[in-house]
Amino acid sequence: MRLIVGLGNPGIEHQGTRHNAGFEVLDRLARRYGDPPGGPARSRFAGLLVEACIGAGRVMLLKPTTFMNLSGASVLEAVRFHKLTAASDLLVVTDDFALPCGAIRLRAQGGDGGHNGLADITRRLGDDRWARLRVGIDAPGRVPTESYVLGHFTPEQRAQLEPGLDLAADAAACWATDGLETAMNRFNRRGVGAAGTN
C-alpha cells in the first residue's frame, strides 16, 4: 500500500487557485486509476480518500480537508493507520512558486521552502524523509506571497499548467509502480525541459 497526498485548500472558493495544484493532480489520478475510475471519494483521515489501482499495486489518493496549514494531521493519521513508512510509501504533491508554471520536480526529501503545508507534514511526521512532487506556479513577483498563492491562474499560466498537471500525474503513477529513483530519472529532466529552463 502506498499513499499519494495532494495539497490544497477545501471549498469552492479555492478551486482553481495556485495553492490547489496538488488537488488538481490528485483529481487526474482519481479519474485515471480510481477503483472505480472517477468514483466518489470517501471521508477518511480528515480528508477525501480515493482508493486506486496503479499497475499491480493499491494506492490511496488523499486530499486533506484540514486547510493547507494543518495538512500534516491528515497525512499522519493515514500513515499511522496503515503502518506506512513515510520514506518509501508517501508522496506529497504540492505547488511551488520557485518553479516556472507547469514545470515539475521530484525529490526524495528536503526543506519546506516556506510552504506551510509541507512544514506541517514535516513537523507531524518528525522528519523530512518523504518524497515530494512539486508543480511550478511561477514566482509571485511584487504580489504578496499569500495573495498570490490563493489567487487564480492567469489564462496564460493555465495554458502552461495543464500539460504540467498531466505530467505530474504521470510522474506520480511512475513513483507508485517503479519507485522514486526511476520516476526522478524519467520525469525531472522532462519536467524541466517542458518549462524551458535549464
pLDDT, tens digit, 9 for 90 and up, residues 85-135: 999 999 999 999 999 999 999 999 988 888 999 999 999 999 999 999 999
CATH fold for the domain made of 2-195: Rossmann fold (3.40.50)
Rounded CA separation 43/178 (Å): 29
What pLDDT is attached to residue 195?
A: 39
Per-residue pLDDT reduced to its tens digit, 163-186: 999 999 999 999 999 999 999 999
Per-residue pLDDT reduced to its tens digit, 44-91: 999 999 999 999 899 999 999 999 999 999 999 999 999 999 999 999
What pLDDT is attached to residue 113?
A: 85
Contact 34, 144 (CB under 8 A): no
Q: pLDDT over 90 for what percent of the chain?
A: 89
Contact 68, 104 (CB under 8 A): no
Nearest to 57 by CA among 1, 135, 127: 1
All three cell numbers of 111, joined, read: 526543506
As annotated, the active-site residues are: 19
pTM: 0.93
Rounded CA separation 7/25 (Å): 9
What pLDDT is attached to residue 190?
A: 58
Q: Sign of the CA dihedral 50, 55, 58, 64? A: negative
What pLDDT is attached to residue 48?
A: 97
Contact 131, 110 (CB under 8 A): no
Q: Would you give the end-to-end CA distance of the chain in angstroms?
A: 35
Query: pLDDT tier at 136 (50, 70, 90 boundaries)?
Result: very high
